[in-house]
């Protein structure tokens, strides 16, 4: 078994389920110590216990990524438990059903999406990057989305705009902190089979079929499809990958019809 992340300390937000939990397990299997962060403390603890039961090192932190106090707390917990921080994986995000066009999306929904999807990344970086710099460098991985790169006839405008902002922020981070040894990159997944997607989309066969028709690979993505790219970005193998926007979407953004 390889240990591509041996000795690394990785903080993963949204680690209580879906892509975040898979990332925590995969990274732990590659030798990393994991700080599993989630708004739902019990689910974060379940993730940490799954890691520990397989011989890995992990702790759980209940935190709201949009809270300044909680963001400080989660980074402090990582340093207290493991002595440093090498990888910040900003995975937490929301995708409310009430997020539609700008014409019919309530301001409250818009603000909620921005608090989690963008402010959460900002706060994670605000407190996480100084620790990564202090430790001699490392990696920031921000989860954006393919919808930030193309328009959509079935809009989710708050989500789309927030993820576009994540890409722009990632570019700025890459330039600011690259000289200090911190690589910052964004991943743009297509539709991934996680609770965030399946809770609503898979209940509607017509909506599911509409989206599948756009995917040349003929299927939705699996969490692992994104996580293994994140593993590359977390590992020393990506030592010259900085400011990249990497699309993992089964070919959606290449599909004209």
245-248 and 33-38 beta bridge pairing:
unpaired
Tokens 């989660």 appear where? 74
User: Quick one: 181 exposed, middle or buried, by C-beta within 10 A (0-12, 13-18, 19+)?
Assistant: middle
Alpha-carbon span 225 to 164, nearest angstrom: 21
Q: Residue 212: its pLDDT value, please?
A: 85
Domain boundaries, the chain: 9-193+222-246
Catalogue the long-range contacts made by 104-107 (C-beta closer than 8 Å, 24 or more residues apart): 105/157, 105/158
- Measured in whole angstroms, the distance separating CA 194 from the mean position of its chain's CA atoms is 13
Of 235, 241, 229, nearest in space to 183 by CA: 241
H or E element that contains 30: none
pLDDT of residue 207: 75
Mean pLDDT, each 10-residue run in order, the chain (257 residues): 91 97 98 98 98 98 98 98 98 95 98 98 99 98 97 92 98 98 98 74 75 89 97 98 98 91
In this prediction, residue 213 carries a pLDDT of 86
Beta bridge partners of 88: 11, 140
Q: How far is CA 167 from CA 58, 118, 137, 253, in A?
A: 29, 10, 21, 16
Q: What is the per-residue pLDDT for 199?
A: 67
Give pLDDT, residue 154: 85
pLDDT for 256: 85
CA dist., res. 19 & res. 64, Å (int): 18
In angstroms, what CA-CA distances link 97 with 70, 158, 243?
Answer: 26, 11, 31
Tell me what pLDDT residue 24 has.
98
Q: What is the largest CA-CA distance in the chain?
A: 52
User: In this predicted structure, what is the pLDDT of residue 200?
Assistant: 62
Please state which CATH number belongs to domain 9-193+222-246: 3.40.50.720
Is position 159 annotated as part of the catalytic site? yes
pTM: 0.96
Contact 1, 23 (CB under 8 A): no
Catalytic-role residue among 159, 228, 232, 256? 159
Residue 250 confidence (pLDDT): 97
pLDDT of residue 94: 95
């Amino acid at each position: 078994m390889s240990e591509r992340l041996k000795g690394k300390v990785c903080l993963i937000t949204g680690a209580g389920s879906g892509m975040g939990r898979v990332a925590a397990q995969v990274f732990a299997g590659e030798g990393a110590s994991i700080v599993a962060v989630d708004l739902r403390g019990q689910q974060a603890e379940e993730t940490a216990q799954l890691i520990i039961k397989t011989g890995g090192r992990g702790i759980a932190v209940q935190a709201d990524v949009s809270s300044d106090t909680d963001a400080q707390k989660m980074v402090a917990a990582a340093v207290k438990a493991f002595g440093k921080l090498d990888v910040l994986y900003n995975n937490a995000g929301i995708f409310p059903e009430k997020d539609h066009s700008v014409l019919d999306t309530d301001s409250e929904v818009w603000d909620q999406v921005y608090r989690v999807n963008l402010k959460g990344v900002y706060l994670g970086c605000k407190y996480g990057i100084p620790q990564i710099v202090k430790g001699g460098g490392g990696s920031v991985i921000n989860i954006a989305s393919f919808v930030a790169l193309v328009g959509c006839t079935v809009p989710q405008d708050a989500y789309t705009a927030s993820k576009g902002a994540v890409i722009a922020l990632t570019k700025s981070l890459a330039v600011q902190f690259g000289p200090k040894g911190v690589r910052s990159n964004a991943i743009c997944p297509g539709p991934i089979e996680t609770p965030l997607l399946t809770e609503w989309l898979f209940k509607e066969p017509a909506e599911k079929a509409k989206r599948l028709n756009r995917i040349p690979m003929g299927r939705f993505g699996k969490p692992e499809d994104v996580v293994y790219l994140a593993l590359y970005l977390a590992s020393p193998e990506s030592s010259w990958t900085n400011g990249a926007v990497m699309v993992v979407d089964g070919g959606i953004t290449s599909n004209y019809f």
